[in-house]
Amino acid sequence: METAIKTGSVKDKLISEFETSKYFLFGNTKLREKAMESFYKQGIPTRKHEEYKYTHVDSMLKEEFYFSANKNCNDEQIERLKILKDAYVVIIENGVFVEGLSNLQNLPKGLTICSLVDAVKSNSPVFEKHYAQYADVNADPFIALNTAMTKDGVFIHIAKNVIIEKPIHIIHVSTAFENTIINPRNLIVVDENSQAKIIESFEILDSTAKIFSNALTEIVINENDIVDYYKIQDENACLPDRQELGYLLNTTHVIQKKQSVFSIHTFTLSGSLVRNNLTLVLDGEHSESHLNGLYLTAGNQVVDNHTVVDHRKPNCNSNELYKGIINGKSTATFNGKIFVRKDAQKTNAFQSNKNILLGEAGTINTKPQLEIYADDVKCSHGTSTGKLDEDKIVYLRARGLSTESAKKILMYAFASEVVDTIKIEPLRKYIEGKILNHLNN
Amino acid sequence: MLSIKNLHASICGKEILKGINLEIKIGEVHAIMGPNGSGKSTLAAVLAGRSEYEVTEGEVTYMGIDLLELSPENRAREGVFLAFQYPVEIPGVSNVNFLKTAINEIRAYKGLEPMEAKEFLRMLKEKQKLVELDGKLASRSVNEGFSGGEKKRNEIFQMAMLNPKLAILDETDSGLDIDALRIVANGVNKLKSKDNATIIITHYQRLLDYIIPDFVHVLYNGKIVKSGSKELATALEEKGYDFIKEEAEA
């Protein structure tokens, strides 16, 4: 399995790796073969693909890559990655669930957390019912690749009528000394009338090589659930001099049943390339979704947020706010699709993308796409890209602030609209600190 | 304290101030009045260091230093305060954080340690009372969603917190109803001392019923054409600015 992909056709190398390893992987081989077939048809997207026009994943995949890396982390290192003092912590190291490093003692009644491998072994009916049912392998080559090649990840099941008070924190930590591709995958199923807060963070430690993480999470939200989901993407943060080793392709597919409330907050603070494909399906009446995003980019970073909000049932609300501060030669892309299906009358769908461009060398691509097939709906979208407001800088300087601190205070204020949506107090403090740190550099 | 000599300033090549001379001593209150377009706000902006105005001639000495050489923030740090005619709304920046940052940057400039949190809070409460500013407004974003009167009161609140040596109030009375005007005037009067000076720029005499100036100057067409005592303001109110224009053009 330790064959490296050398130059030449990346696609062929991935396929040959799949052929040699497929029988060692968990679960249904047929499902994996079908996914690989779809991947073969779709191929790795190039800049000619509309959906990947601004995010050139193919160029970085041209290098030599391995498919697994040794486990390296110790408890002390993991300790540094914990954000909250009190949380159920799941460690996924190089794409594999590591029970020994996780903190899952005394799980409350109704909460199941285990590896995908164990979920298959134990024949969990919930797992079997929901696994690989939502993210369509034919919709995106990276969904297909993950479905074919994933080795592990976490399965979280919350039974009905349960409130999980403590947040669940999934930490993806990678360490690699050779270029590595990993395909971690999560399945989260919340049964009806339950509540939870989940944080998923992405970090790289002590590495000398690139890590391409093709991570996928499916989330099933049932009737009357209230779930808050936080993504913290800060892969280069722990690397000396913020080396550019982290490449993250993060697919998230959420399905919501009636009267549920789901909020997802995506903070992208570092990473050489970060592509988020977030799809949220409102598949039950009177459900409500909040999608918040904040990206702070610098250097040569590429950050691309593709979101899809799919209103399939009437009387649902969705509210989307993505904000970015773009520095250096970095590129930020926002593509927000909203579908309102024929039956989804009385839909309220709002979308806003605002960017601040610092300097002259950065690039922002922003594209709202609304497709509305119902007639009684309220939808709006807005985008703005600008520089920091001179009048505000003048006002702050007139009170004794230096130009630099005036700018910092204004950028922080811009970001705070998203930060203020964080409902876990220590997490909000943590993100505030990260942002201030970012603005100081 | 402040000495303005033959000050000429222009914006986009158009000369607005055409030779202003003004001497202000510590402890004094000066009112600068004048019709619209006479250059009142330009004078305030030049003193505060707004970069869109170009000083083409003359000098301004403040406490023995060349004021025109200082950046806007250093003018503020040296004790010059401009109450804006149109205060800017800054969503997301709380009044309290903004003032804490401002005070500590001013202190750092003077080589002082940051203010103790306790002391800052004490001062915050005390000064809020002075301008009868609701505690809720103080903790909200700077001027965001404030009414016109609240914005002006917030300017005086900031002035109280920063305790300037020279305060320039640019049309602080415009858009204020009589109750708000009294509160603002009352705040300014309480902040007045023998150690500071105030310049009140206004179109109308009404504010001067509440803040009694030591001197009144009339600005017309970029020059001070008449100076006098409080009575000059009353005369202007009665006769209008026309008699000044006639005198100036005669």
Structure tokens at A300: 């040569």
Mean pLDDT taken over chain B: 91
A79: Cβ contacts below 8 Å, ≥ 6 apart: none
Residue of A nearest to B52 (CA): A394
- Helical segments of chain B, H only: 40-48, 72-77, 95-109, 117-130, 135-139, 148-162, 178-191, 207-210, 230-239, 242-249
What ipTM describes this predicted complex?
0.93
Asked if A401 lies within 8 A of B72 by C-beta distance, the reply is: no
Nearest by CB to A397, from B73, B97, B158: name it: B73
pLDDT value of residue A4: 47
Q: CB-based contact (8 Å) between A391 and chain B?
A: yes
Stretch (H or E) spanning A117: helix A116-121
Q: CB-based contact (8 Å) between A393 and chain B?
A: no
Nearest by CB to B90, from A392, A400, A402: name it: A392
Neighbours of A183 (CB within 10 A): 23
Residues 131-170 of B with CB under 8 A from A: 141, 158, 162
Q: Under a CB-based contact definition with an 8 Å cutoff, are residues B26 and B2 in contact?
A: no
A390-397 vs A403-419: helix axis angle to the nearest 10? 120
The model carries a pTM of 0.88
In degrees, rounded to 5, the angle at the alpha carbon of residue A111 between the alpha carbons of residues A168 and A71 is 55
We report the CATH number of the domain holding residue B156 as 3.40.50.300
Give the gap in angstroms from C-alpha B78 to the nearest C-alpha of chain A.
9
pLDDT value of residue A244: 79
Q: CB-based contact (8 Å) between B96 and chain A?
A: no
pLDDT value of residue A8: 52
Neighbours of A79 (CB within 10 A): 10
Domain ranges, ordered by start, for chain A: 10-284, 390-441
Query: Residue-wise over A28-56: b if at least 16 C-beta within 10 A, else e?
Result: eeeebebbbebbbebebbeeeeeebbbbe
pLDDT in tens, B20-41: 999 999 999 999 998 888 999 9
Cα–Cα distance, A91 to A173 (Å, whole number)? 7
Of residues B78, B23, B84, the one with CA closest to residue B50: B84
Q: CB-based contact (8 Å) between B71 and chain A?
A: yes
- Helical segments of A131-172, H only: 141-149
pLDDT value of residue A11: 81
Cα–Cα distance, B121 to B110 (Å, whole number)? 21
Residue of A nearest to B168 (CA): A398
Q: How confident is the model at residue B250 (pLDDT cuts 50, 70, 90)?
A: low
pLDDT value of residue A230: 98
pLDDT value of residue B237: 82
Cα–Cα distance, A302 to A299 (Å, whole number)? 9
Residue type, B64: G
* Cα B116 off chain centre by: 28
Average pLDDT of the residues in B70-85: 95
Residue of B nearest to A395 (CA): B88
The total number of structural domains that make up chain B: 1
Give the gap in angstroms from C-alpha B9 to the nearest C-alpha of chain A.
19
**Full domain range(s) for residue B144:** 2-249
Strand-pairing partners, residue A406, are none
pLDDT string in tens for chain A (441-residue length): 444 444 457 788 888 889 988 989 999 999 999 999 999 999 888 888 889 988 888 877 777 888 877 777 888 889 999 999 999 999 999 999 999 999 998 999 999 999 999 999 999 999 999 999 999 999 999 999 999 999 999 999 999 999 999 999 999 999 888 899 999 999 999 999 999 999 999 999 888 889 999 999 999 999 999 999 999 999 888 777 767 789 999 999 999 999 999 999 999 998 899 999 999 999 999 999 999 999 999 999 999 999 999 999 999 999 999 999 999 999 999 999 999 999 999 999 999 999 999 988 999 999 999 999 999 999 999 999 999 999 999 999 999 999 999 999 999 999 999 999 999 999 999 999 999 988 887
pLDDT in tens, B128-145: 988 888 777 777 899 999
Residue type, A11: K
Cα–Cα distance, A378 to A347 (Å, whole number)? 6
Q: CB-based contact (8 Å) between A409 and chain B?
A: yes
Residue of B nearest to A420 (CA): B92
**Residue ranges with strand state E in A61-208:** 88-93, 96-97, 111-115, 154-158, 168-174, 180-182, 185-190, 195-204
A223: phi then psi, degrees, rounded to nearest 5 = -50, 135
